[in-house]
């Protein structure tokens, strides 16, 4: 049985099958759960659910997928723990001087579902570089959960993109018509911006001791 499974997994995919598999993997990393047939069809631009299902069956026969309790499971992706969801780790954001660093890491992290709630499709995670937010208990190397948004209230912590394209993690302050990105460390001066470009709003912190 094991040898048969290995042989199935080693079977090559067609270009269309590889595209379907990448779409499923991308959906799982973004949302933390697998797509339905119709959700996958929309992502692939395939209107006929039967056509999508045929691709699913092909990937299942080749060992890349399996179906459990009405959901898709990717080979090599463990089933999510109870009350846990997967969140994509999409970038590295400086908590210090702004830098041109905000890249996809191709990884994901598991977080308690209660931290995300109904916003699960809009949540992503960053790894922090620097110590400008230490007084807010966010240190170098910490992982921070953010909600994708283009707006934020004064006093909220945000990742913002500056005019030169760089990004930074700071606390937003609006004072007398000014827009300030403020550090939680007296060694760093506030950054004043003419136009606020919010990438995400901080909703939680993940840390291992």
Catalytically annotated residues: 132, 170
Evaluate whether 162 touches 193 at the Cβ level (below 8 Å): yes
And the tokens for 79? Answer: 């089933």
Which helix or strand (DSSP H or E) is residue 135 part of? none
Whole-number Å distance between alpha carbons of 136 and 134: 5
Kindly give the pairing relationship between strand 123-129 and strand 143-148. Answer: antiparallel
- CA pair distance 167, 179, nearest whole angstrom: 15
Opening angle at CA 201, ends 198 and 205, nearest 5: 140
User: End-to-end CA distance of the chain, in Å?
Assistant: 42
CA dihedral (173, 192, 165, 124) in degrees, to 10, reads: -10
């Amino acid at each position: 049985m094991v040898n048969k499974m290995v042989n199935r997994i080693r079977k090559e995919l067609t270009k269309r099958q590889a595209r379907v598999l990448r779409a499923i993997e991308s959906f799982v990393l973004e949302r933390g759960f697998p797509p339905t047939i119709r959700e996958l069809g929309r992502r692939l631009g395939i209107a006929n659910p039967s056509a999508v299902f045929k691709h699913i069956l092909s990937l299942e026969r080749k060992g890349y997928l399996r179906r459990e309790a009405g959901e898709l499971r990717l080979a090599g992706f463990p089933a999510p723990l109870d009350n846990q969801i997967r969140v994509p780790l999409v970038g590295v954001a400086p908590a210090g001087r702004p830098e041109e660093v905000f890249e996809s890491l191709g990884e994901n992290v598991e977080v308690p579902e209660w931290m995300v709630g109904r916003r699960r499709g809009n949540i992503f995670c960053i790894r922090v570089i620097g110590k400008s937010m230490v007084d807010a208990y966010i240190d170098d190397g910490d992982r921070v959960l953010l909600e994708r948004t283009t707006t934020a209230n004064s006093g909220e912590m945000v990742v913002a993109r500056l005019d030169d394209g760089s990004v930074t993690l700071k606390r937003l302050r609006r004072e007398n018509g000014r827009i300030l990105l403020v550090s939680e460390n007296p060694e760093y001066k506030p950054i004043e911006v003419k136009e606020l470009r919010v990438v995400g709003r901080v909703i939680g912190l993940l840390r291992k001791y």
